[in-house]
A and B are shown apart, each in its own frame.
Chain A
Amino acid sequence: MTESSKAFEMRHIVKRFPGVLANDNVDFACRTGEVHALLGENGAGKSTLMNVLAGLYRPDAGEIFIGDRRVNLRSPQDAISNGIGMVHQHFMLVPKHTVAENIILGLNKPRFWLNLSQIKEQVEALGEQYGMSVNPNAKIWELSVGEQQRVEVLKMLFRGAKILILDEPTAVLTPQEVETLFGTLRNMTEIGHTIVFISHKLDEVVKIADRVTVMRRGRVTAANVLAEGITKAQLARLMVGREVLFKTEKKDAQPGEVVLSVDGLCADDDRGLPALQNISFNVRAREILGIAGVAGNGQRELAEVLTGLRRATGGVIRFNDVLLGRHTNWLKINEQLAHIPEDRAVVGSVPALGVAENLILKRFYRPPIAAGWSIDTRAMHQNAVRLVEEYQIATPTVDTPVHMLSGGNLQRVILARETSSHPKLMVAVHPTRGLDVGAMEAVHTLLVKQRDEGAAILLISEDLDELLSLSDRLTVIYEGRLIGEMPTERADIPTIGLMMAGVEVER
């Protein structure tokens, strides 16, 4: 391999955050025209490393070379002028603006006079060239998530990016959209672009990457491994440092009485548009009902209505034969009704309060935590010490504010709180999103354990592997309606994928 075939090289990168060594002397290089997967658990330092390359973070030590030139990337503008563009997990688009307006956003190129029609032509041409056309006049909010992602990619290409970093690009896509994305990426590498593909989904890595670099705890554990011929199990071991169970061990379900019964449920979303339209289903004790679907098809609203965060506009919800509605005192029943929310930081935790205080969020109202009108701080601490131990929450003290914990640890705090009370019903929304293989395994085992202990579980997820391996029954939500229900044994990924895209499949 000659030096000139290198697209870029990062040498001895060190990046510290208060209390964390996110990148510990990391070397990373890509060849021109390859798809290079950067694989690792959460908190392994992948995103940090790529944020350094994209100019968002400045490394504390280390050098970056583009081709043979040493560069100093002080801002995303520096990175883009050196041909490096990054597409983040959360899109950075203005929903009310058009595609073309978003693409030129932040460019200082039309200095004053905006010639939008010319830009629109350029955007269209670019889209055709790479096989990912988007209507430049469309407003962002009118587009599907997959299309929005295309806009982000086009934005980078428009700025002349040769090296494209994609941070977990498939997290929000349907299986079909993933196929389309992979096709586009192939086109791009043929033209000579280099792709860095950050992921912790092993299947995708095996499928799309030419080479793989694995990171663990801020260090590279395997560099430039050829993706051809490697197995998922090998990659997982590199990533986690131990063998990982892919199929969660699970006995057959022994469904008991109906715990949750939903009939003709309707609800509106935040904009007041119907999000749930006449949904009916049952969940029994000791079973897991999986609901598959692409994000934004009513899953969030469904979970919120079931847990009292959103008001239904119609229909009936029965929980253990009690009607849930506006007169429900949620403080009294919330311990039996566990909810692992989609957005852990925004909904599931109180950032400035300590671990111990977060762990009592749903049981402060009753003894033993409550003692009359007061809170028994000793009981609160004992509860925290026990759960920190049992759920292996890594925290300096039980009084540490939870905003200082990592994402995985925060999820453990929430899981500890929600599962330790032996709930009758558990609503889990994307419980493993953003978690690495190891943590994912722990969550899956925990959910199955809850089921076996008698809980009714409603699992809302986008991860088909997760749904197939955990659910006893499976249904798909599309535009606020449930389309089709089947026992998991009869489900397969292509069929569910089609249903997630709104195609009613005759079975």
Chain B
Amino acid sequence: MKRLIASYRIRIDTRLDNPGWRGVVSSILGIILALIVGGFVLKAAGASDPIATYREIFKEGFGTPKDWHAGVIALMNHTACPKGKLCFGPLSDTLVKTSPILLTALACIVAFRMKLWNIGADGQMFYGAWAATWVAVFLLPKTTDRWVMLGSMAMAGIFAGLLYGMIPGLLKAYLNINEIITTLMLNYIAYKWIEYYVVVGPWSIGDFESTGHFPAPATWPRLTEYAKRIPIVSGLTIHPGIFLGIGAAILLAWILNRSRWGYQIRVIGNNPNAARYAGISLSRNIVLVMALSGALAGLAGMNEVAALRELNGRFQRGYGFTGIIIAWLARLNPLAAILVSFLFGGLLVGTKLIQPQGIASMLQGVILFIVVGAELLFRYRIRLEKIEPIVSDTLEVIHDS
């Protein structure tokens, strides 16, 4: 306890109760506060009107009610999107972005639930992308059935991410090597691995730093392919990958809350001593949870290459880190992560054209900072307390009558 002003001081008490709604409030307040703080940064960076900038970001990321309305009318009238309206374009772009970050967020959630700080979802995702590319371009013939091809790519992505996640898991479980360091460092190996294959190495086609277009069966079918029958979907790149993310979120929610294994994960995360006491093997679960975490990130990588239709030197880094922020904002709840990922997808899409670049990262950072800081307010009750006049040996003496 510290004295601030002469007659007041800050008092910090531990809260004994902690209802779930406080977490929701903390996440929402975190976003609002971050937008306010971000507004000042935008202003400092030269934006004349931060609110207008935010409106622009929202419009780019989600569209406006007018756009949606025009889209619904066009859909009913069987016409294309009228000129000057965005219709469902922004929503489609955002959903395309949502799937990889949802999957990396789930990868973080499962590990964080056990207090395993996997910050290597990025690298695990890169390996997933690499393995899926290998299957698509080099293993299976170009004429393979689309769903067999995509299924095989998904399996390869999952398996590669799983193995890459198991490395830090094994190191942690059996040699007690800090997983934060290993997962972080393994990211860079994964970046360089891809760089070798597509920039300088065997997979690049000429000077393009790319594998070139995948054969058609190895790409996600997009909604725009059906534009001939339904004109409104023209130009919409949305693909079934989003269902992978949602399906994985539901599965993970079931695992964590309803399964025997999830129970073990929660017990270990909350009190490893009690877990050992119950006979639950810590090392086994560390390896398994890191494997699942890596598998989810690997699936994100497959999803992303199947959407991009090629693996190239500009394969986006950082989804794994965005996943960390989403995991915290969703308070490690897989179902809440679906909504948060959608919002973050909108933020990523909406800030694409905003100058200076990096606004999205700045806002993400501020949000995480504030949400984590708000934890303090929820774990402790902080209040200003007035100090009563001091009565001690030297001061006032009240006599007992």
Contact = CB atoms under 8 A, between A and B. Distances in A.
Interface of A: 3, 17-19, 65, 68-72, 74-75, 78, 81-82, 307-309, 329-334, 339, 341, 346-353, 357, 360-362, 364-365, 370, 373-375, 377, 404
Given A65-B400, A308-B279, A364-B260, A72 B267 contact: no
Given A375-B259, A377-B258, A69 B397 contact: yes
A332 to B, nearest CB: 8
A395 to B, nearest CB: 14
Given A347-B277, A353-B270, A82 B258 contact: no
Contact of B277 (A81, A341, A370, A377): A341
Contacts of B398: 69-70
Nearest to B280: A331
Contact of A19 (B16, B260, B270): B16
Interface of B: 1, 15-17, 254, 258-261, 263-264, 266-267, 270-271, 273-281, 387-388, 390-393, 397-400
Given A346-B273, A349-B271, A362-B278, 12 more contacts: A18-B15, A19-B16, A69-B391, A69-B398, A71-B391, A82-B392, A332-B279, A347-B273, A350-B270, A351-B271, A353-B266, A364-B260
Contacts of B391: 69-72
B273 A334 contact: no
A50 B266 CA distance: 38
A309 B274 contact: no
Nearest to B396: A70
Contacts of B278: 330-331, 334, 361-362
A307 to B, nearest CB: 7
Contact of A81 (B260, B388, B392): B392
A31 to B, nearest CB: 15
B388 A361 contact: no
Contact of A362 (B279, B387, B388): B279
Contacts of B264: 364
Contacts of A307: 277
B16 A404 contact: yes
14 contacts: A18-B16, A68-B399, A72-B388, A74-B387, A332-B279, A334-B279, A341-B277, A349-B271, A350-B267, A351-B270, A353-B267, A364-B260, A373-B260, A375-B258
Contacts of A331: 278-281
Given A65-B400, A349-B274, A72 B390 contact: yes
A74 B270 CA distance: 34
A78 B387 CA distance: 14
A211 B393 CA distance: 29
A258 B393 CA distance: 68
A191 B123 CA distance: 72
Given A69-B397, A341-B277, A374 B17 contact: no
Contacts of A70: 391, 397-398, 400
A267 to B, nearest CB: 15
Contact of B393 (A81, A332, A360, A373): A81
A326 to B, nearest CB: 11
Contact of B260 (A341, A346, A370): A370
Contacts of A347: 273-274, 277
A226 to B, nearest CB: 25
Contacts of A373: 259-261
Given A17-B16, A331-B280, A361-B267, A71 B259 contact: no
A309 B400 CA distance: 59
Contacts of B393: 69, 81-82
A377 B259 CA distance: 10
A3 B401 CA distance: 10
B243 to A, nearest CB: 23
Given A82-B392, A308-B279, A334-B278, A357 B263 contact: yes
A361 B258 contact: no
Contacts of B259: 373-375
A19 B15 CA distance: 12
A18 B277 contact: no
A357 B16 CA distance: 19
A332 B281 CA distance: 12
A381 B382 CA distance: 36
B260 A375 contact: yes
B14 to A, nearest CB: 10
Contacts of A375: 258-260, 263
Contacts of A364: 260, 263-264
Contacts of B1: 75
Contacts of A334: 278-279
A69 B280 CA distance: 58
A378 to B, nearest CB: 12
B229 to A, nearest CB: 42
Contacts of A341: 277
B305 to A, nearest CB: 32
Contacts of B276: 308-309
A339 B260 CA distance: 22
B258 to A, nearest CB: 5
B174 to A, nearest CB: 14
A82 B391 CA distance: 11
A63 B18 CA distance: 32
B17 A404 contact: yes
B254 to A, nearest CB: 8
Nearest to A17: B16
B302 to A, nearest CB: 25
A410 to B, nearest CB: 12
Contacts of A349: 271, 274
Contacts of B388: 72
